[in-house]
Structure 1
Amino acid sequence: MDRIILGNDEFEGENNAYVLHEGDSLALVDTGIATTDVRDDLREGLAEYGYEFADVDDIVLTHFHPDHAGLAGEVQSESDATVYVHEADAPLVEGDEAATAALDERRREYLEAWGIPPAKREELLGVVESVTGLSETNPTVTPIEDGDTLEVGGHTLETVHAPGHALGLCWFEIAGRNQAFVGDVILPVYTPNVGGADVRVERPLETYLETLRALADRDYDRVWPGHRDPIEEPSERALTIVDHHRERTERVVTALEEHGPADPWTVSADLFGELEGIHIVHGPGEAFAHLDHLVHEGVASVEDGQYRLVDGDADLESVVAPSRTP
């Protein structure tokens, strides 16, 4: 198993594509974004191991985001590779017009509901339209679900559905190694965005916290993320991100004490300051995820898009709590 480091100027920094190869079997885990530079990175990376796009037998995608799935169609068009992705994300990767339109409409509704000013909404939509990061060649996809086993590149991978950052996000446990490919479930430097990265996810923060606890409970020796370097103590990293979200929840409560009733855009300004580009959705999306969680936990209420505290003395240790210590 080898790693190809791919450039990425749009999202969380360097992407990873993983090369699984044994005998005549060759697979990729993620492909990178469909830009000229990244396409060249992937071709050159494969060539270092004596391969080209035409040699790829299987492509395993951790989720639909273009910095992970963008080149899958081009690789498949040259190789006839089988492309695997979770069934929730499969229509988006295939370029299904109805699924894409539904996501776009849901995003527009949230942008308005979160209180984002019209000029900022238009700025964001311009970014989304100009930087799709997907190839014009859409792959034909084989949908997978939680528990499916994939035999690819001489390795056995167990599919574990891990929603939060994206509805169809999965990690793939490598049989016999106590390791996994985790995509954007956890990252070594950044905390994956929750709320804005995929507006299809219901109760985004609680959903993501459940995924983090599940990953921590697996107690892997090492995991291979979608960005940057491998993570040597993944359970500790997962629970550190839980702690990060508890601290952020505290900051959201403080913002409501100072500014409430308030919409997610107002809260995000308190958390992150001025937002530009793709962060126009990531910032208020993250604020919404925390506000939504506080509503479901009885700490806040919402009316006409405005959130207010109803229990300023709530124990946030119980509202956002890890399942165990590492």
Structure 2
Amino acid sequence: MERISLSNSAFEGNNNAYLFADGPETVLIDTGDWMETTREQLEAAFDERNVDLADVDRIFLTHWHGDHTGLAGEIQAESGAEVYAHADDAALIAGDEDAWADLHDLQEQYFEQWGMPEEKQAVLREVLAGGKPTGTSPTVTAFDDGETFAINGYDLEVVHTSGHAAGLSMFAFDLDGRREVCSGDALLPVYTPNVGGADVRVEQPLEKYLRALQGIVDADYDRAWPGHRDPIDEPAVRAQYIIDHHEERSWRVLDAIDRKGPCDTWTISDDLFGDLESIHILHGPGESYAHLEHLERTGTVVREGTEYRLADGVADDLAAMDNQRWSLEY
């Protein structure tokens, strides 16, 4: 298995595609985005390895976001490759108009529920319109959690890690006696993947993501190959760090409500992240909502219309904690 680094203008850093070509099949995990420069980079990397895009037999996609799926349709058209993705994301990747319309409608509902200002909504709509993949959409074969695929002597196991995206999946395999995993955006070496905004279809996004992270801790993989940037040599340590990060953020959400009184999601987002531009207009309130929704279900905050307040007694509990970390339940 070889990592191919592909350019990406997004903040997460360069995308990764993973090539399995050391056997009778040529297999890719993720393809990078749909930009012509990305295709040129992927073709050059294939040339260096004496293979061609037309040789690709199968493509496995970690999730529906365009920076991971953009070239899947073009490659399938040239090679006849079978394209696989989790059942929860398959329709979006395949370009199903109803699936995209449902996503758009749900986003609009959340913009209002979160209290997003109209001028920010207008900017975000332009950003989202430019982020939908263009060109050929692939025909997609759906898989589910726990399925295993034999590839050139590897057994590639699907590990569903919903949170950042509904169908986000990792692919675990053994390599030279080590248990390794292509982690997509479930585990990144620098950024903490956004939950709540990156895929508004996910119900209980924070709880699902925390469980996925705990699964990574428990699996104790030897190495993770992420969707962006460099390999992660201690995946369990990184996963635990992100769990701790979300516990700290939960404290900050509660502290903001304690200081400001009842307020909506956009107000919490502004307190956490300040002024937002571009795609962060979606990610900031989305992440805030993920925490608020989780805290509401655990009885720590109460939602009244679009505003949240602390549940009875929580303010006293916070004062007694003296800034100790709030412990999330999941």
Question: TM-score with structure 2 length normalisation?
Answer: 0.94
**1:253 positional shift:** 0.8
CA offsets 1:92-139 (integer angstroms, 9 cap, x no match):
00001111100110011001110000110111011110232x241000
Mapped to 2, the partners of 1:7 and 1:47 lie a distance apart of 17
The one-letter code of the counterpart of 1:145 is D
Percentage identity across paired residues of the two chains? 50
Higher mean C-alpha deviation, range 15-24 or range 204-213: 15-24
Quick check: 1:246–1:317 contact (8 Å CA) kept in 2? yes
Query: Which residue does 1:185 correspond to in 2?
Result: 186
Matched, 1:249 2:257: no
**1:318 positional shift:** 6.8
Higher mean C-alpha deviation, range 174-183 or range 191-200: 174-183
SS at match of 2:88: coil
SS at match of 1:64: coil
**1:156 positional shift:** 1.6
**1:268 positional shift:** 0.6
Q: How does 1:45-84 map to 2 (within 5 A)?
A: 45-84=45-84
Mapped to 2, the partners of 1:207 and 1:260 lie a distance apart of 28
Query: Which residue does 2:126 correspond to in 1?
Result: 126
Mapped to 1, the partners of 2:26 and 2:179 lie a distance apart of 21
Quick check: 2:66–2:131 contact (8 Å CA) kept in 1? no
Query: Which residue does 1:111 correspond to in 2?
Result: 111
Q: How does 1:187-226 map to 2 (within 5 A)?
A: 187-226=188-227
Q: How does 1:279-318 map to 2 (within 5 A)?
A: 279-310=280-311, 311-312=314-315, 313=317
Quick check: 1:93–1:139 contact (8 Å CA) kept in 2? yes
**1:23 positional shift:** 2.8
**1:251 positional shift:** 0.7
Quick check: 2:298–2:329 contact (8 Å CA) kept in 1? no
SS at match of 2:221: coil
Ranges in structure 1 where 5+ consecutive residues have no aligned partner: none
Mapped to 1, the partners of 2:153 and 2:101 lie a distance apart of 38
Q: How does 1:94-173 map to 2 (within 5 A)?
A: 94-132=94-132, 134-173=133-172
CA offsets 1:46-102 (integer angstroms, 9 cap, x no match):
111111210111101011111111111011111100111000000000001111100
Matched, 1:33 2:41: no
Mapped to 2, the partners of 1:184 and 1:276 lie a distance apart of 22
SS at match of 1:224: strand
Mapped to 1, the partners of 2:185 and 2:203 lie a distance apart of 18
Ranges in structure 2 where 5+ consecutive residues have no aligned partner: none
CA offsets 1:20-56 (integer angstroms, 9 cap, x no match):
1123311000001111211111111111111121011
SS at match of 1:168: coil
Q: What is the root-mean-square deviation in Å for CA atoms of aligned residues?
A: 1.5
Quick check: 1:73–1:135 contact (8 Å CA) kept in 2? no
SS at match of 1:178: strand
Mapped to 2, the partners of 1:319 and 1:163 lie a distance apart of 21
Q: Give structure 1 regions of 4+ aligned residues with deviation exceeding 3 angstroms.
A: 314-319
Query: Which residue does 1:90 correspond to in 2?
Result: 90
Query: Which residue does 2:269 correspond to in 1?
Result: 268
**1:317 positional shift:** 5.7
The one-letter code of the counterpart of 1:45 is A
Mapped to 1, the partners of 2:327 and 2:109 lie a distance apart of 28
Query: Which residue does 1:234 correspond to in 2?
Result: 235
Mapped to 2, the partners of 1:289 and 1:216 lie a distance apart of 21
Quick check: 2:156–2:172 contact (8 Å CA) kept in 1? yes
Quick check: 1:20–1:155 contact (8 Å CA) kept in 2? no
CA offsets 1:224-256 (integer angstroms, 9 cap, x no match):
000000100000110100000011111111111
Quick check: 1:22–1:154 contact (8 Å CA) kept in 2? no
Mapped to 1, the partners of 2:128 and 2:152 lie a distance apart of 34
Mapped to 1, the partners of 2:10 and 2:270 lie a distance apart of 21
**1:154 positional shift:** 4.2
The one-letter code of the counterpart of 2:295 is L
Aligned length: 321
Identify which of 285, 302, 320 aligns with 2:328. 320
SS at match of 2:31: coil
The one-letter code of the counterpart of 2:8 is N
